[in-house]
Structure 1
Amino acid sequence: MKPLLFSAALLTLALPAPANNWPQTRGPNRDSVSTDAAVPTHWSEKENLKWQLDLPGAGASSPIVWENKVFVTCFSGQKENGDVSGLVRHILCVDKATGKKLWQRDYPTTQKDDDWSGMIREHGYTSNTPVTDGAHVYVHWGKGGVVALDMDGKEVWKATTGSESGRQRWGSSGSPVLWKNLLIVNAADEAQSVIAFDKATGKQAWKQTAGLLEGAFSSPQVLKRADGREDLIFAAPSELWGMNPETGKLRWYAPTGIEGNVAPDPVIQGEDIYVFGGFPSTMRVALKAGDKGEVSSSAMLWQDSQSTYVPTPVYHDGKLYVVSDQGFAWCADAKTGAMIYRERLGGAAAQSGGGGGRRGGGKPFYASPVLIGDKIYAVSRKQGVFILAAKPQFQVLATNFLAGDGTDFNATPAVSDGCLFLRSNKALYCIGK
């Protein structure tokens, strides 16, 4: 089969960031892993809540942290009749210690966004998590384009990415990533393309376009091979691709059998790659990275039909852990794929509000779990944060609620300096001792 040419979300690479920074989606290495043992395991409005900041709108993007600053995006201006002519996207910079808003920049829509109806209500118009290198913050707004700001909120450059819509009209979700001097953006929804910009100037460095990229919602990873070569890894419907991040050219591809939507990010350990997703049926597969051309079937390590639709699993000590969108906590052997346990979390029934007000979405989890030390923190949309033991025996250690917030928590949290940063459709929270 002739492969499609990439577009999903964006590449990922370990940034040269101090240990207390969380500069992009799912952390410094894009693996949802933190060694910060000081993060609390119990909290409420009266215990270990350092601060709360109400936000001007909803959003599914994760907060990111650089030194003493926290950045978060959100959106407002949508109407219940579907009208988005007044849509505004916002980025806020917040003092990490106090929760004081340092600055806010607002970006009114400049072209027709998808109506506020259907599945876009599940996550909204700011699902792309920003990325920072400590000098600039880069934000992808989907049809709103890309903007680069300095750390004080001054706009450095702005670029367009496209104005189209996928047939499903589910909107943009993949998060941008920095690789060397490039900012790589998943513009699948608005342009059926992946686009790389010079991070200093905003000048387009390369663009790869393919006609059939719908359903590729995951954010890619970077695999660093033993010989030093780096491959841009991303999952699309039916295939896994390895690309040259410098040029966007396809190096290799492997059939996966995962049909329909692919939302979870690929998980990488060495040169083993784990891929998840699918719609209406889910699947998970493991395979060896290729070198060039089509990868042979012998590269497939295992496959199984029990998977996750939105959240990305986390790897720990030879196991894969996740709480699926349907509320099942599961642990699988990464070498064989064998399911070790699969248990529904108590209270995690199929009840969700969606991105900014819709109820009945049916998926109690959207966020990816984060491994902090020997514990897994899994954020549900409405039933609190479940803390599980990161071991092959199912054990719920704690469940924590912020009872005063009845909106959805759609975002994977950030971790920095003993604090857990949660965001809902209402507020940004700092949990810490």
Structure 2
Amino acid sequence: MVPIRFGAQTAIAVWSLLVVAVAPPALADWPRFRGPNGSGVAADDAPTPTEFGEQKNLRWKVELPGEGVSCPIVVGDKVLVTTYSGYGAAGGTQVDLVRHLLCLDAETGRELWKKEIEAVLPEDAYSGMGIPSHGYASHTPVSDGERVFAFFGKSGVKAFDLEGNELWERSVGTDSDPRRWGSSSSPVVVDGVVVIVAGPEKRAIVGLDAKSGSELWTADSESLGNVWGTPVTAPGDGGKTDVVLGTPGEIWGINPATGKIRWYAGAVGEDGFNTSVVVADGVVYAVEGRSGGSIAVRTGGKGDVGQSHLVWNGRDANRFGTPLVYRGRVWFVSNRIANCLDAKTGEKIFQSRLPSEGGGAFGRGADYSSPVAADGKIYYVTGNGEVHVLKAADALESLAVNSLAAEGESFAATPAISDGAIYIRSSRHLWCFSEEGR
């Protein structure tokens, strides 16, 4: 597929931008999809548990008011997560569909507040391959430390303060992707701009003012209809910040103030881009699926930097999960095979199958979670509820396999880690584990 860059196709509707100053997230916060800047790496050095379960190192467990695959976020002493109910695996009709934004006390799991969001209809039907695998709560919310922003696809973007007061709402389109699989890209906040990848809904990336919800810019491209990953930020030229996103055939570096492309590099992916990119030490890493392909590109530059900024490329494949860059290594798990690459060269260090405690579904689409890291350990959750804890080493060293499996319960969300606690979400429950336990 020939990449379609929006900079060459549509005018960007933006004339001025007011940068809103807010309190930065606390050091231990996990404020967005895959934590600090989507890295999947805990921002603090607190020790995290290795072995845990219903009878060990459990701080709390709560039943959720619905299903979903979005990830929990942690902001100060609060945990926030989205769910949906009324329509889906349990039956019902689209008119019964409701989304929920739930806020819990991080220490106790006590519910602090809950908001219900009515659906904008019609939604994509609960049928086929896509929607049944993730439902209608697949976008992870994001916080700037004072507010939380939740994206619900066709039902738009909602902003609340951390006490649960609604601040604004904004539609970003009601279209569908070509396959009607629904969307999954989570929002990010950059310099007072809420960046929404509304690929299926609008074939566009949209920049909203974090304070008011007003639309600052829209950047259109047909190729965005097949983008499922979440952007990250990266250092650009002259101290500027770029928003970086993987798209079919290319990686884009975007100006968050205008939506215009600053740089791009030919990359992996065919007619879609399933995973999110990762930035570490000024380098963007991507590992895509289907036909495979891995790449590392230095950030910054202007225009086509595919040759001038290329660090390495390879043929590694990773269909759904986002890679993890940790302690000089690139980690990813595909079909329950753990892969470890040298971050500087892309050289394969090892490839080994994960041990299994209880079998489960190993087929196509079984695992959607991405690895995360803290305290020298890597955590990975399989679709049937096995939580693998690996030592961050140059050979596969399994420290524990913790089973949370239960009949009728599925696991697709990536864990959150904050202040020594790990938060794991299933289709029905949210757990918090820490070395202190109860």
Same fold per TM (> 0.5)? yes
The AA in structure 2 aligned to 1:222 is T
What RMSD in Å do the two structures reach over aligned CA positions?
A: 2.2
The AA in structure 1 aligned to 2:411 is F
Deviation at 1:296, TM superposition (A): 4.5
> Which secondary structure does the structure 2 equivalent of 1:143 belong to?
helix
* Pair 78,348 (structure 1): closer, same or farther in 2 beyond 3 Å: farther
- 1:22-421 matched pairs, under 5 angstroms: 22-34=30-42, 35-79=44-88, 83-118=93-128, 119-225=130-236, 227-279=238-290, 281-324=291-334, 326-347=335-356, 351-352=360-361, 362-404=364-406, 406-421=408-423
Tell whether the 8 Å contact from 1:331 to 1:341 is kept in structure 2 after alignment: yes
TM-score by length of 1: 0.91
Q: Which whole-Å deviations, capped at 9, do the CAs of 1:325-350 have from their partners, x for residues lacking one? A: x1111101122212111111123899
> Which secondary structure does the structure 2 equivalent of 1:173 belong to?
coil
* Pair 331,164 (structure 1): closer, same or farther in 2 beyond 3 Å: same
The range that moved more, 144-153 or 249-258, is 249-258
Deviation at 1:363, TM superposition (A): 3.0
Tell whether the 8 Å contact from 1:58 to 1:75 is kept in structure 2 after alignment: yes
Deviation at 1:305, TM superposition (A): 2.0
The AA in structure 2 aligned to 1:97 is E
Distance 1:419 1:198 in 2: 32
TM-score by length of 2: 0.90
Deviation at 1:49, TM superposition (A): 1.1
Deviation at 1:255, TM superposition (A): 1.1
> Which secondary structure does the structure 1 equivalent of 2:424 belong to?
strand
The AA in structure 1 aligned to 2:234 is L
Q: Which whole-Å deviations, capped at 9, do the CAs of 1:221-266 have from their partners, x for residues lacking one? A: 1111363121111110111111111100111211114213312211
Q: Which whole-Å deviations, capped at 9, do the CAs of 1:61-105 have from their partners, x for residues lacking one? A: 111111221111011112457942321111111111111111111
Distance 1:213 1:247 in 2: 17
Tell whether the 8 Å contact from 1:350 to 1:363 is kept in structure 2 after alignment: no
Tell whether the 8 Å contact from 1:261 to 1:278 is kept in structure 2 after alignment: no
Percent identity at matched positions? 37
Q: Which whole-Å deviations, capped at 9, do the CAs of 1:337-373 have from their partners, x for residues lacking one? A: 1211111112389955xxxxxxx96333211111112
The range that moved more, 294-303 or 197-206, is 294-303
Query: What residue ranges of structure 1 are gaps of 5+ in the alignment?
Result: 7-13, 353-359
> Which secondary structure does the structure 1 equivalent of 2:295 belong to?
strand
Deviation at 1:179, TM superposition (A): 0.9
Which residue of 10, 13, 17 maps to 2:25? 17
Query: What residue ranges of structure 2 are gaps of 5+ in the alignment?
Result: 8-21
* Pair 79,368 (structure 1): closer, same or farther in 2 beyond 3 Å: closer
Distance 1:149 1:393 in 2: 45
Tell whether the 8 Å contact from 2:100 to 2:114 is kept in structure 1 after alignment: yes
Q: Which whole-Å deviations, capped at 9, do the CAs of 1:304-339 have from their partners, x for residues lacking one? A: 222211111111222101222x11111011222121
The AA in structure 1 aligned to 2:127 is S
* Pair 361,59 (structure 1): closer, same or farther in 2 beyond 3 Å: farther
Distance 1:395 1:177 in 2: 34
Are 2:431 and 1:429 aligned?
A: yes
Distance 1:257 1:68 in 2: 39
Count of residues in correspondence between the two structures: 417
